[in-house]
C-alpha cells in the first residue's frame, strides 16, 4: 500500500514498554482458566517525521494465560529486547511497518501485535488520519458507517444466579446480546443460559466454549438451548484447537454457525479449517494473528473463501480494543463484534478514541487511534 501522498517518510525514535495491569470488576472465568487482572504490556512508539515533528503511538500486547503461551513478563522482556533493533527504522507505508516489526519480533505474535499497533498509531497520527483510513478504509464502501459498532457483553462462567444478576445489570445499561462462556459441563451451562434468559427475556446469545467440549457435548448444549427457544447467534470454538474433526462434526450438526478461535492463529490454520470444513466463521484477534496488518489480510482471505467474521480480543483495555475496532472499520464491518472487555475493568487509565452508549461504540475521527494515557 503506498504512503499517503505529500507526506514524507518517518522514523522510529524509540519503543518503550511497561506493564498494563488493570483489575477486573469480577473474575474472568473461562473453560480453561481464570484471571482477575489484565496481564498486558503497554507499548509506546515515538516516531519523527522529516520536519522533526514527533508523536507517540500506543499499542497493547495482551496475554491471557492459558489461552496464550506467553504471560506478561514474557511480553515485557521480548519487547524490551527488540526495542534497539526498531530504533531508526524508516516507515514509508504500512508494508514497512509489518516488515520492520516481523524482523525484530519473529517469535511472538502477541508482542508483534502490540508493537505494530503502536507504530501504526504513531504513523497515522503523523499523517493526520484515523487509523482505519490509514489502513485503507477511507476508500472502502461502508467504512465510515463501520465506525459505529454494536458489541456484545461477556458473561464469564459462574453460578446461574450470579450470571443472571450480571446479565440484568448489563441489560439496564442497554446490552441485549450476551457472549456466554461455557465449556466445563454442558448441563450446568444450560442451567446458566436458562437463568440468564429468564432474567433478560429479550436476550440473544453467542456461546463460547473456549475449546472445552467433545463434539457430542457441544451439540447437546446448543440443541437444548435452541429447543428452549433461546436465540443463539453463533457457537465459538466448541472443541479443542487441534481437533478439526470434532470441530467439523459440530459445524455440520449445529443449527448455528461455528466460529473458530483457538483453531485459527495463522494463514496455515485458515487453510486447514477450510479444508476440514471445521467452521463457518473465524474470530479475528490482533494478538493471536500478529497485529492489525496480518489480521486485515487474513480477514479478507477468510471472507473471500465464504467465511463470516467475528471481531474479538483478549481481556484488553480500550487501547487494544480500539486497534481492533479500526481494523473492523477498514474491513467495512464484520458479522459479530465482541469488543467489550474495557467495560469489565475496574478502572480505565485512558481517554478518547471512542464514545459509547451502552453497546454502541463510535470510533473517533481523530488521527491514529485517538486515545491518550491519563497516567
Distance between CA 322 and CA 311 in Å, rounded?
A: 11
Give phi and psi for 156, each to the nearest 5. -65, 165
Distance between CA 353 and CA 367 in Å, rounded?
A: 9
Distance between CA 232 and CA 225 in Å, rounded?
A: 8
Distance between CA 210 and CA 96 in Å, rounded?
A: 35
Task: Mention the CATH class of domain 137-373.
Answer: alpha beta
Q: How many CA atoms lie within 13 A of 308 on its CB side?
A: 15
Q: Where are the alpha helices (DSSP H) in the chain?
A: 72-86, 94-104, 109-127, 131-134, 160-172, 186-199, 215-227, 244-253, 267-276, 286-289, 292-304, 318-331
Q: Where in the chain is the domain with CATH 3.20.20.120?
A: 137-373
End-to-end CA distance of the chain: 35
Distance between CA 156 and CA 72 in Å, rounded?
A: 21
User: pLDDT in tens for each of the 375 residues of the chain?
Assistant: 333 444 569 999 999 999 999 999 999 999 888 999 999 999 999 999 999 999 999 999 999 987 898 999 999 999 999 999 999 999 998 989 999 999 999 999 999 999 999 999 999 999 999 999 999 865 444 556 679 999 999 999 999 999 999 999 999 999 999 999 999 999 999 999 999 999 999 999 999 999 999 999 999 999 999 999 999 999 999 999 999 999 999 999 999 999 999 999 999 999 999 999 999 999 999 999 999 999 999 999 999 999 999 999 999 999 999 999 999 999 999 999 999 999 999 999 999 999 999 999 999 999 999 999 998
- Name residue 336's beta-bridge partners: 310
Distance between CA 294 and CA 351 in Å, rounded?
A: 27
Matching residue, cell 472443541: 239
- pLDDT of the residue at 3: 36
Residues 6+ apart with CB under 8 A from 365: 130, 147
| Burial grade of 296 (CB within 10 A; 0-12, 13-18, 19 or more) | buried
Fold of 10-128: Enolase-like; domain 1 (3.30.390)
- Extract the runs of DSSP E, i.e. beta strands, from 31-146: 33-37, 39-48, 54-63, 90-91
Q: Where in the chain is the domain with CATH 3.30.390.10?
A: 10-128
Query: Does pTM top 0.75 for this prediction?
Result: yes
> Alpha carbon of 186 to those of 178, 181, 194, 208, 338: distances in Å?
17, 11, 12, 12, 22
Rounded (5°) CA angle 75-77-79: 65
- pLDDT of the residue at 4: 45
Amino acid at each position: 500500500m503506498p504512503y499517503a501522498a505529500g507526506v514524507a517518510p518517518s522514523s522510529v525514535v524509540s519503543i518503550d514498554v511497561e506493564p498494563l495491569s488493570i483489575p477486573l470488576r469480577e473474575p474472568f472465568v473461562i473453560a480453561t482458566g481464570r484471571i482477575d487482572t489484565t496481564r498486558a504490556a503497554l507499548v509506546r512508539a515515538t516516531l519523527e517525521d522529516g520536519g522533526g515533528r514527533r508523536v507517540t503511538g500506543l499499542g497493547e500486547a495482551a496475554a491471557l494465560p492459558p489461552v496464550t503461551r506467553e504471560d506478561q513478563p514474557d511480553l515485557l522482556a521480548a519487547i524490551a529486547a527488540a526495542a534497539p533493533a526498531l530504533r531508526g527504522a524508516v516507515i514509508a507505508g504500512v508494508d514497512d511497518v509489518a516488515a520492520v516489526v516481523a524482523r525484530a519480533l519473529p517469535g511472538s505474535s502477541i508482542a508483534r501485535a502490540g508493537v505494530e499497533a503502536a507504530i501504526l498509531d504513531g504513523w497515522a497520527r503523523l499523517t493526520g488520519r484515523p487509523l482505519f483510513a490509514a489502513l485503507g478504509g477511507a476508500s472502502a464502501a461502508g467504512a465510515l458507517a463501520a465506525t459505529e459498532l454494536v458489541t456484545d457483553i461477556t458473561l464469564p462462567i459462574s453460578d446461574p444466579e450470579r450470571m443472571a444478576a450480571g446479565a440484568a445489570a448489563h441489560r439496564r445499561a442497554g446490552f441485549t446480546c450476551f457472549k456466554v462462556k461455557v465449556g466445563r459441563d454442558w448441563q450446568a451451562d444450560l442451567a446458566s443460559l436458562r437463568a440468564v434468559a429468564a432474567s433478560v427475556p429479550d436476550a440473544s446469545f453467542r456461546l463460547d466454549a473456549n475449546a472445552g467440549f467433545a463434539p457430542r457435548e457441544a451439540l447437546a448444549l446448543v440443541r437444548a438451548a435452541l429447543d428452549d427457544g433461546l436465540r443463539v447467534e453463533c457457537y465459538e470454538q466448541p472443541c479443542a484447537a487441534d481437533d478439526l474433526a470434532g470441530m467439523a462434526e459440530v459445524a455440520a450438526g449445529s443449527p448455528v454457525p461455528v466460529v473458530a478461535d483457538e483453531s485459527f492463529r495463522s494463514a496455515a490454520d485458515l487453510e486447514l479449517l477450510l479444508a476440514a470444513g471445521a467452521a463457518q466463521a473465524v474470530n479475528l484477534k490482533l494478538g493471536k494473528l500478529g497485529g492489525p496488518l496480518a489480521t486485515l489480510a487474513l480477514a479478507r482471505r477468510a471472507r473471500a473463501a465464504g467465511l463470516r467474521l467475528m471481531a474479538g480480543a483478549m481481556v484488553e483495555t480500550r487501547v487494544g480494543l480500539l486497534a481492533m475496532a479500526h481494523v473492523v472499520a477498514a474491513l467495512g464491518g464484520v458479522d459479530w463484534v465482541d469488543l467489550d472487555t474495557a467495560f469489565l475493568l475496574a478502572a480505565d487509565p485512558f481517554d478518547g478514541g471512542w464514545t459509547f452508549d451502552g453497546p454502541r461504540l463510535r470510533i473517533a475521527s481523530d488521527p491514529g487511534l485517538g486515545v491518550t494515557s491519563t497516567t
